[in-house]
Amino acid sequence: MSEQNRFEIEEQQERWVGGWLKWCPTSPSLLREAEKALLSNLKSAYSVRDVNVGDCIGKEESYIWTIILNEDSPKILIVFLHGFGCGWVFFFFFNFDSIAAHGPVYAFDTIGFGRSLRPAFSKDPIEAEREFIITIEAWREKMNLNKFTLLGHSFGGFLAASYAIKYPERIEHLILAEPWGLSERPVDGYRYNGGFWVKPICIILEYFNPFFIVRAAGPLGPKLLQKVRPDLRQIF
């Protein structure tokens, strides 16, 4: 499936769903427009690519949305991995011009986020981590990169560390900005302080995406997010 075909299918699905369901105030087209508006402010030359990394997850081909700046520079390049629930354009945009002035910059939407494809990951945490890492390696192979500085923020820091452990020969420098650290689940199950009602609620929430409540809130979702995380408006 080509880049054009993938986005054409996405737009057709959006038109069909948009005609019947307007509860959620977001869409792929709004994401594209927001990205386009931000990129119009870049001073550096750049290119964007929809990189086909093959069937890393399941039987479906996976695509990773990528931006490249100062590609022809001979210096050691830097690759950015964004945090949870976002994409490269919104986390790193204000850093691109200054860093690209010194060498190549690569950034991509991690598989399952932003404008990259969103396949069904394994429910096993170890296997899901492996799926993330093999898609990053497949992306590296497709981009024909040899060795690079890898910078990961938040959840991207967790993935960057995992990738560096698996493929240390590919890493020139590893930079972890506020990285996540995920501990194993206790052997005896949940250990939460609180009433008897805490454990069943945690078990139920385990089956939902952390942003499920924001999406389910529909038009109230943005206000809910601003209420819970007022710092996001100040940061971004």
The per-residue pLDDT of the chain, averaged, comes to 85
Residue 228: band (very low, low, confident or very high) from pLDDT cuts 50, 70, 90:
confident
pLDDT of 24 reads: 76
pLDDT for res 97? 95
Long-range pairs for 32-36: beta carbons < 8 A, 24 or more residues apart: 32/115, 34/89, 34/90, 35/87, 35/89, 35/115
Beta-carbon count within 10 A of 147 CB: 13
131 exposure class (CB count in 10 Å sphere: 0-12, 13-18, 19+): buried
Instruction: Quote the pLDDT of residue 22.
Output: 67
Q: Which of 132, 108, 136, 109 is nearest to 122 (CA)?
A: 132
Region of poorest pLDDT, from 38-52, 95-109, 111-125, 205-219: 205-219
pLDDT band with cut points at 50, 70 and 90 for residue 233: confident
Greater confidence (12 vs 62) lies with 62
Of residues 187 and 60, more confidently modeled? 60
Average pLDDT on 204-231 reads 80
What domains lie within the chain, and their CATH numbers? 26-182 (3.40.50.1820), 186-236 (no CATH)
* Res. 116: pLDDT tops 60: yes
Model confidence over 17-55: pLDDT tens digits?
555 556 777 778 888 898 999 999 999 999 999 999 999
Residue 28: the pLDDT is 81
Q: Is the pLDDT of residue 63 over 90?
A: yes
**For the CA atoms of the chain, what is the radius of gyration?**
19
Instruction: Categorize the per-residue pLDDT at 168 as very low, low, confident or very high, splitting at 50, 70 and 90.
Output: very high
Express each pLDDT in 141-161 by its tens digit.
999 999 999 999 999 999 999
Q: What percentage of the chain reaches a pLDDT higher than 90?
A: 49
At 6, is the pLDDT very low, low, confident or very high (cuts 50, 70, 90)?
confident
Distance of CA 29 to the CA centre of its chain: 17
pLDDT for 85 equals 85
pLDDT of 215 over the 60 cut:
yes
Band the pLDDT of 229: cuts 50, 70, 90.
confident
